[in-house]
Amino acid sequence: MLIALVGCAKEAVPALPIEIQTVPVAIDLRAATPGPAYDPLALARAAGDQQLNPNPGVPPACYVRTENRSNTCAACHARSSYPNLTNDWELQQNYPVGELATNHWRNQFRDRSSLVARFAEADLAHYVRTDNYEPLRAALTSREFPGWKPDLDFTRGFDELGFAADGSGWRALRYKPFAGPFWPIHGSTDDAFVRLPVAFRVDAHGSPSIPIYRANLAILEAAITAGAPAGRVVEPIDETVAGLDLDRDGALGTATRIVGLPAHYVGGAAAIRVTRSLYPQGVELMHTVRYLDPDAPAYIARRMKEVRYATKTALLEDTELAKAHRAVEAPTGGAEGDPQHGYRTPLGWTLQGWIEDSGGWLRLQTHEEHQFCMGCHSNLGVTVDQTFSFPRKLPGAAGWKPQDPRAIADVPARGETAPEYARYAERSQTGTAMYPSRARAFELDRAYLATVLEQSYVWGRDAAPQPSFAKIEERSTGLGEADRVVRDVSVLLDWDATTGAGRSRGASR
Per-residue pLDDT at 7 exceeds 50: no
Q: Which residues of 276-311 are buried (b: 16+ CB within 10 A; e: fewer)?
A: ebbbbebbbbbbbbbbbbbeeebbbbbbbbbbbbbb
Question: What is the structure's pLDDT at 500?
Answer: 39
Amino acid at 371: Q
Per-residue pLDDT at 97 exceeds 70: no
Question: What is the structure's pLDDT at 23?
Answer: 60
Q: Residues near 504 by Cβ (< 8 Å), separated by ≥ 6?
A: 405, 408, 409, 410, 421, 432, 434
Out of 9-18, 31-40, 356-365, which region has the weakest mean confidence (pLDDT)? Answer: 9-18
SS (H, E, C) 330-383: CCCCCCEEECCCEEECCCCEEEEEEEECCCCCEEECCHHHHHCCCCCCCCCCCC
Over residues 30-81, the pLDDT tens digits come to 999 999 999 999 999 999 998 898 888 778 877 777 888 888 888 888 998 8
Task: Report the alpha-carbon distance of residue 166 to residue 159 in Å, rounded.
Answer: 10
Question: What is the structure's pLDDT at 308?
Answer: 98
More confident residue, 497 or 131: 131
Per-residue pLDDT at 109 exceeds 90: no
390 DSSP 8-state letter: G
Q: Which of 471, 123, 158 is nearest to 303 (CA)?
A: 123
Q: Which of 295, 294, 307, 286 is nearest to 135 (CA)?
A: 307
Question: What is the model's pTM?
Answer: 0.93
Per-residue pLDDT at 229 exceeds 80: no
Q: What angle do CA 336, 342, 345 make, to 5 degrees?
A: 40
- The residue-averaged pLDDT of 122-145 equals 97
End-to-end CA distance of the chain: 33
274 DSSP 8-state letter: P
Per-residue pLDDT at 11 exceeds 50: no
Per-residue pLDDT at 92 exceeds 90: no
Per-residue pLDDT at 503 exceeds 50: no
More confident residue, 55 or 165: 165
Per-residue pLDDT at 339 exceeds 90: yes
Out of 3-7, 238-242, 318-322, which region has the weakest mean confidence (pLDDT)? Answer: 3-7
- Looking at the chain, the whole-number percentage of residues with pLDDT higher than 70 is 90
Longest CA–CA span in the chain (Å) reads: 71
Map residue 172 onto helix, strand or coil: strand
What number of CA atoms fall less than 13 Å from residue 269's CA on the CB side?
30
Helix, strand, coil in percent for the chain, rounding step 5: 25, 15, 60
- The residue-averaged pLDDT of 402-428 equals 94
Beta bridge partners of 384: 387
- The residue-averaged pLDDT of 279-304 equals 98
Q: Which of 103, 114, 210 is nearest to 167 (CA)?
A: 210
Per-residue pLDDT at 502 exceeds 50: no
**Maximum average pLDDT range among 69-83, 369-383, 434-448:** 434-448
Domain residue limits, the chain: 18-196+281-459, 198-269
Cα-flanking dihedrals φ and ψ of residue 89, to 5°? -60, -25
Out of 144-148, 326-330, 458-462, 500-504, which region has the weakest mean confidence (pLDDT)? Answer: 500-504
**Maximum average pLDDT range among 51-60, 219-228, 317-326, 343-352:** 343-352
Over residues 185-199, the pLDDT tens digits come to 999 999 999 999 999
Write the CA distances from 238 to 173, 231, 255, integer angstroms.
21, 17, 7
Question: What is the structure's pLDDT at 508?
Answer: 35
Question: What is the structure's pLDDT at 466?
Answer: 85
Over residues 440-484, the pLDDT tens digits come to 999 999 999 999 999 999 999 999 888 876 666 667 888 888 888
Per-residue pLDDT at 509 exceeds 80: no
